[in-house]
A = this chain, B = another copy of it.
Amino acid sequence: MRSREQVYPPAAPAGSLLAVCAPSSPAPRKEILGGLAWLRMRYRVRLTRSVVGRCGYLAATDTERADDFARAMLDPAVSAIVCSRGGYGAMRIVDKLPWDAFARAPKWIVGFSDVTALHAMANAHGIASIHGPNVTGLGRSITPFERQAFIDALERAKAPRRWSGLTILSRGRARGTLVGGNLTVACAMAAGCRFVVPPGAILVLEDVTERPYRIDRMLTSLALGGHLARASAIVFGSFTQCDPAEDGVTVADVLSDRTCHLGVPVVMNAPFGHGAKNEAFVLGSEATLEADTLSF
């Protein structure tokens, strides 16, 4: 498919019902409670069972996590599904979820990191989704600006936004649909034939605790698979704790090395991911990258 703006679910204004689901790993109780407290100041919140569970490194069994998520996807009373935490596990249930029915009556899916697997599925079904803090992130130190970006995405997704002052790796101008999320998860989904960069899309990527050679390997996978060549631009967010290994190669070296020959604009240090800033934005929205500014 050609990159094109995707279908926006209906806005979730103040007072809407949000379903909090746990498609991935269990979350620290304190961070969940903090995030819920903030959400409850503005929205009605419905917890699903899996949010308070634990099953090894998963929040609950696959069946429980998938059932909870599927029910929220299909419930007409729910305006948005906010994920409790990332970690790992969403990939295990993506094929158990009712994507076709969801695409006929879409709602916002909100989260990042491991939630990239769910974004990839929603976006592949033509539905835009919100890349932004999980509930645990909302419960940690988050700035008023980030909270407002979260609210804006849920309530005024079409309102114009811009990120300026990004670090330019390759200069240029491009316009396309935003696609991507966490590099590790996007790559794992690509290995499972569940993540594709549509021609002309602007690829957004972030990661955490992956050494430079691993970032290299994942970008090389996406290059071999044709994903990088199909992108009209690449926007890197934070690469947190992806510290240089003893061989002296930094993650910035890798991001540049793996993209400099593509002939498309590339920037880094955009304010999303596991770093100091994680500003919500809409995957599937139409964006323009020009020099150091992404407008969307």
| Chain A residues at the B interface, C-beta cutoff of 8 Å | 25, 54, 56-57, 87-88, 91-92, 94-95, 187-194, 212-214, 216-218, 220-226, 245, 247-249, 253
Q: Which residues of B contact A225 (CB under 8 A)?
A: 191-193
A223 to chain B, nearest CB (A): 7
Q: Which residues of B contact A92 (CB under 8 A)?
A: 216, 220
Contact in complex: B188, A91 (CB < 8 Å): no
Distance between Cα atoms of A184 and B218 in the complex (Å)? 11
Please tell me which one of the listed residues B91, B214, B220 contacts residue A220 in the complex, with CB atoms under 8 A apart.
B91
Contact in complex: B218, A188 (CB < 8 Å): yes
Given contact pairs A56-B249, A249-B57, A191 touches B221 in the complex (Cβ within 8 A): yes
Q: Is the interface of A mostly helix, strand, loop or mixed?
A: helix
Distance between Cα atoms of A25 and B245 in the complex (Å)? 13
Given contact pairs A213-B88, A217-B91, A224-B95, A248 touches B56 in the complex (Cβ within 8 A): yes
Distance between Cα atoms of A87 and B216 in the complex (Å)? 12
Quick one: copies of this chain in the complex? 2
Q: Which residues of B contact A226 (CB under 8 A)?
A: 193
Q: Which residues of B contact A188 (CB under 8 A)?
A: 187, 191, 217-218, 220-221
Q: Which residues of B contact A245 (CB under 8 A)?
A: 57
Task: Name which of A192, A194, A213 has the most chain B CB atoms within 10 A of its CB.
Answer: A192
A203 to chain B, nearest CB (A): 14
A210 to chain B, nearest CB (A): 11
Please tell me which one of the listed residues B25, B189, B224 contacts residue A194 in the complex, with CB atoms under 8 A apart.
B224
Q: Which residues of B contact A220 (CB under 8 A)?
A: 91-92, 188, 192
Distance between Cα atoms of A218 and B189 in the complex (Å)? 10
A254 to chain B, nearest CB (A): 9
Q: Which residues of B contact A54 (CB under 8 A)?
A: 247
Q: Which 7 A-B pairs have the closest CB atoms?
A: A192-B224, A191-B221, A191-B191, A56-B249, A190-B191, A192-B221, A57-B247
Nearest chain-B residue to A192 (Cβ)? B224
Task: Name which of A222, A224, A226 has the most chain B CB atoms within 10 A of its CB.
Answer: A224
